[in-house]
Amino acid sequence: MTATTFLDEHARHAQPGHPERPARLEAVRDAIEADPALAALPRLDAAPAPRKALERIHFPEYLDLVEAFCESGGGDLDIDTYATPDSFEVVRQSVGNLLALVDAVMAGGADNAFALARPPGHHARPAQAMGFCLLANAAIAARHAQMEHGADRVLVIDLDVHHGNGTQECFYDDPSVLFVSSHQAEIYPGTGRLEETGAEAGEGATVNLPLPAGAGDEVAGLYRDLLPPLAARFRPNLVVLSFGADPHRLDPLAGLNMSVAGLVDTVGVIQEVADAEADGRLVVTLEGGYLPDVLAASVTAVLRRLVDPTSVIDDPFGPTSRPPIDLSPLTAAVRQRHGL
Ligand SMILES: [Zn+2]
């Protein structure tokens, strides 16, 4: 069984003209409601994330700062990250929903799950909001699974087109979390080079896959080559996936040139790895994706794949038009760097 949650009050986190806007999740909700099989998926009720869960990743002073900033009316926390008077409440509920899904998957009440989160989380640093993100959703979820459910090793994968710098930073010296991020090289936030592999005890537990612009659906093949051996070596108890739809060829914020089918194929590889190494335990949390129609088509296609791995993908936007780029040099470089 695949579980979801929907963030009912998310529209209170909004700023006119900003690409990270309520229309994103509204489009996803409409697309889910339009498909009876998806509309029937269980949606778990959840409490806002407890402070304790947030403090496992974020500094207390940072949480106090964001809360006070919102209470005093909100505004811009950095050049592209806003908060409204309600944003702290919204994001705590969003993370609470995600943690409820982690609880369900770890306790066996659900096979896998997809949290329809807003705002995204993978750029949020332990003490700094960044890149539309206030709380490090995926990192909080991974640590929650470790502390509350005894998940000794968590594999966190980041499929958003941007590097998950915040998630990486949270676990950079931590060997108990294997972080794998694929992202378009040399765009925001500028980190995620192949040479960033972790520090101290966490050396080797950060795997960056910096992709050339236009890589296209070859990304699925890259995952198929690299993820199974990485996961077999690490033996995760849980897989957390930061899913962004912004690798899609139509997304206005990047140029990776993937199709919906390519994105879902990649998630399929990740699901197979979760099946093989973690008894199928896979929790997906939504990151970016800034064209609401593409986001909705991508999220619903991923949900169908989570429900039924044999589902055939109906890609309303069609295949990529340009030929993909050969990623075998990157595959070889990652194999060498990480001893695969
Ligand atoms: Zn992104």
Model confidence at 94, pLDDT cuts 50, 70, 90, reads very high
Q: Can 123 be counted among the known catalytic residues?
A: yes
Mean pLDDT of 85-108: 98
Instruction: Give me the percent of the chain exceeding a pLDDT of 70.
Output: 100
What integer pLDDT is reported at residue 340 of this predicted model? Answer: 95
Q: What distance in angstroms lies between residue 288's CA and the mean position of ligand 1's atoms?
A: 4
Model confidence at 323, pLDDT cuts 50, 70, 90, reads confident
Answer yes or no: is pLDDT of 320 > 90: no
In tens, the pLDDT along 256-282 reads 999 999 999 999 999 999 999 999 999
What integer pLDDT is reported at residue 116 of this predicted model? Answer: 97
Mean pLDDT of the chain: 97
What integer pLDDT is reported at residue 324 of this predicted model? Answer: 80
Q: How far apart are CA 106 and CA 153, in angstroms?
A: 13
Q: What distance in angstroms lies between residue 132's CA and the mean position of ligand 1's atoms?
A: 9
Answer yes or no: is pLDDT of 191 > 80: yes
Out of 123, 162, 163, 248, pick the active-site residue. Answer: 123
Task: Return all residues near 236 (Cβ < 8 A) that are at least 6 apart.
Answer: 151, 153, 154, 155, 178, 274, 277, 278
Buried/exposed code over 127-155 (b: 16+ C-beta within 10 A; e: otherwise): ebbbbbbbbbbbbbbbbbbbebbebebbb
What integer pLDDT is reported at residue 1 of this predicted model? Answer: 94
Mean pLDDT of 170-191: 98
**Domains annotated on the chain, with CATH:** 2-338 (3.40.800.20)
Q: What distance in angstroms lies between residue 36's CA and the mean position of ligand 1's atoms?
A: 29
Q: What distance in angstroms lies between residue 94's CA and the mean position of ligand 1's atoms?
A: 18
If you count DSSP H runs as helices and E runs as strands, how many of each does the chain have, helices first?
11, 9
pLDDT higher at 205 or 45: 205
Q: What distance in angstroms lies between residue 287's CA and the mean position of ligand 1's atoms?
A: 6
Q: What distance in angstroms lies between residue 134's CA and the mean position of ligand 1's atoms?
A: 14
Q: What distance in angstroms lies between residue 189's CA and the mean position of ligand 1's atoms?
A: 10
What integer pLDDT is reported at residue 314 of this predicted model? Answer: 82
In tens, the pLDDT along 108-128 reads 999 999 999 999 999 999 999
Q: Which two tokens stand for residue 48?
A: 């806002």
Q: What distance in angstroms lies between residue 107's CA and the mean position of ligand 1's atoms?
A: 30
What integer pLDDT is reported at residue 172 of this predicted model? Answer: 98
